[in-house]
Structure 1
């Protein structure tokens, strides 16, 4: 009998992991769809609330603040509830935040309500981000090959889809109070369905202390004292800053620096996203063949060259090629940093939450820093702060190497 059942067990386990891989990709894509939908309607929110550029910038910080507030506890929550339930609960917050922001802006024109909605949205997104990265790393370990960048590519594709649907909603005049709650509800239903495919939660040993709240808190505090975890967090911080600068400023920089239209500036950002998505899709093959350190070193140098070309080319066409190279070059750093933090499964939740806290501070510091520099030297030239930070980050590459 054992000769018949033994081969079936590994096959069933492999099917379970492949199903979980699909579920994680769906969750990443839907989270991106929610965020892309919100950012596509930011112009409508600004108009509804009659905000200046500075006022809008302060309002958008509410979402980043919510995400940063979530990070210190998100790993503990994932350990306590499991990644599937954590992602589902966090996505409920995402849906509620979108609904509050949409109704407050469109139906009431109420700025405090929008700010509250964005804090809730950011808190849900931050918690979901940590939990789905923990699950993605677990799937990656069981598959025995690199897949985390592809999950982040799914997020990028979802954000592009959300931006596209948002553009259509704006074109047909769909009210924020209708559009954003509908997106939130659809994302919640799809995410709950996707989490059903997550890996089963292992049962703790009866005499183990690992599941107690005190032990989980000790694990997080211990992670904050680990030099490797902190250095990975610094590496992810630079990666997040480099991505965030493109998200927040590349379209404006091309409008200001090259005199293109606003639509063309948005298209330039689309080129960045395409480059990043391609890098995350095909870069997994390079990572499995040559390893993290040489591949990340090469791609970071590509990003440095890309930013320099984008700023100094003098020709709009050549500069757009630089933006594509920038997206391709920065594509792997953030997801590989998350994989590096989660290499040891028993410490994954604590370490990923620590790395996320450090990394997400880039989304708080990035917009105002670039704005201040742009006021002095111009928005396009301010982008050169990216290679200034990327080059020293090459010294951090050895910490991404999997422990023996």
Structure 2
């Protein structure tokens, strides 16, 4: 076991990986109207490109599942960050649509690897510290997104090629001191593919995963289509379309940064149900908004409502996977489960990015009815999150 003094440095490194991932992702999504114009893409063509990226992110997550047990999640996380850095340069500086698509494809794979291994690192940290830390880790992702959205607002007039400088950040994050594997896991890691399936309560984990699908449907719809919604439906000033994303991210980030304490005080189940009610009201405001400032208010409220769904989903899944196991076996099993659980992320992203665009091809008001209907399921699914309330107990002895 590594000394407790290593954990603060590892926590900062993990937070940095989340922050960089959020910054790069939102830097790209808030520029979708500009990307559409640059490559003359319609809504359906853009949906197709996003579909490819989401599917390849799922592939990246599967790659992480295969590699992390053998190489350590810290090593695979570094590799994923390097893929993200290289792909951003390619897709921004692409001389043709074909090269842009190739760069976006590579970015999708890198996105999946970093998503999976970043959450593996955060879950391992949570277990070693014996307290809730995933909401604040995801809060770092959101803070990165806020910075990315602010950068978009501040750089609307810069040459397109200058955006490639964003790639420097994942490059720097790739050398951070991430959490090394517990001693003893390496000896059992080769057995992970078989042992991980045998003792994992997948039915319970799938229930939690469905909530993650709902969250990413809502989140990706807001992040991907929010700026386009303000641009198309309300004809908002071009320099302000990123406001669909920025207040949403600020609200999400603020709730996540206090999410560790909120979860410990209120409990995951109750917190999720209150959030679901807020999200439902928020989406009604977005769909029925008479003007773009009202829609922005709806997106902001939405961020407050859904903020803790994703981090608590990973906490609950890891708690379910890691029960009744020694620390070495638990980390091996949890790493495998987190990578597979991360696939729910992309199912939700698929619904949010692609279905919202397809259903809303005529009007994005109709498109945003997709997350509006799905968010109701969180009231029922919240009961599956009881294990997240027990994370400290589950972590005892980690």
Which bracket does the TM-score occupy, shorter chain normalised?
A: 0.7 to 0.9
- Aligned partner of 1:203 in structure 2 is 183
SS in 1 for 2:175: helix
Cα contact 2:142–2:253 (8 A) shared by 1: yes
- Aligned partner of 1:187 in structure 2 is 170
CA distance in 2, matches of 1:192, 1:44: 29
- 1:308 is matched with which residue: 268, 271, 284? 284
- Aligned partner of 1:59 in structure 2 is 49
Deviation at 1:314, TM superposition (A): 3.9
SS in 2 for 1:172: coil
**Structure 2 portions without partners, runs of 5+:** 323-329
Aligned-residue RMSD, C-alpha: 2.6
Specify whether residues 50 and 365 from structure 1 end up closer, same or farther in structure 2 by C-alpha distance, changes over 3 A only.
Answer: same
Matches within 5 A, 1:78-227: 78-104=68-94, 108=95, 110-173=96-159, 175-176=160-161, 179-180=163-164, 182-189=165-172, 191-194=173-176, 196=177, 198-204=178-184, 208=187, 210-212=188-190, 215-219=191-195, 221-222=197-198, 226-227=202-203
CA distance in 2, matches of 1:223, 1:324: 41
Cα contact 2:256–2:307 (8 A) shared by 1: yes
* Residue-by-residue CA offset, 1:29-70 (whole Å, 9 max, x unaligned): 112222233334444444443333433332233321220112
CA distance in 1, matches of 2:357, 2:385: 31
Specify whether residues 371 and 200 from structure 1 end up closer, same or farther in structure 2 by C-alpha distance, changes over 3 A only.
Answer: closer
**Structure 1 portions without partners, runs of 5+:** 1-8
Deviation at 1:130, TM superposition (A): 0.7
- Aligned partner of 1:284 in structure 2 is 260
Matched, 1:244 2:228: no
CA distance in 2, matches of 1:295, 1:222: 32
Cα contact 1:134–1:342 (8 A) shared by 2: no
**Whose Rg is larger?**
1
Specify whether residues 171 and 335 from structure 1 end up closer, same or farther in structure 2 by C-alpha distance, changes over 3 A only.
Answer: same
Matches within 5 A, 1:20-35: 20-35=10-25
Specify whether residues 254 and 38 from structure 1 end up closer, same or farther in structure 2 by C-alpha distance, changes over 3 A only.
Answer: closer
- 1:71 is matched with which residue: 43, 61, 67? 61
- 2:349 is matched with which residue: 363, 366, 377? 363
CA distance in 2, matches of 1:327, 1:18: 28
Deviation at 1:330, TM superposition (A): 0.6
Relative to the length of structure 1, the TM-score reads 0.85
CA distance in 2, matches of 1:363, 1:205: 32
Kindly tell me the number of residue pairs found equivalent between the two proteins.
379
Deviation at 1:166, TM superposition (A): 4.5
Deviation at 1:203, TM superposition (A): 2.4
CA distance in 1, matches of 2:185, 2:58: 33
Deviation at 1:75, TM superposition (A): 2.1
CA distance in 2, matches of 1:96, 1:35: 14
- 2:7 is matched with which residue: 17, 21, 24? 17
Deviation at 1:356, TM superposition (A): 1.0
Specify whether residues 73 and 145 from structure 1 end up closer, same or farther in structure 2 by C-alpha distance, changes over 3 A only.
Answer: same
Specify whether residues 316 and 31 from structure 1 end up closer, same or farther in structure 2 by C-alpha distance, changes over 3 A only.
Answer: closer
* Residue-by-residue CA offset, 1:222-270 (whole Å, 9 max, x unaligned): 4887111222221111111111111122233344444533444321321
Deviation at 1:169, TM superposition (A): 4.8
- Aligned partner of 1:395 in structure 2 is 380
CA distance in 1, matches of 2:367, 2:227: 13
- 1:275 is matched with which residue: 215, 228, 251? 251
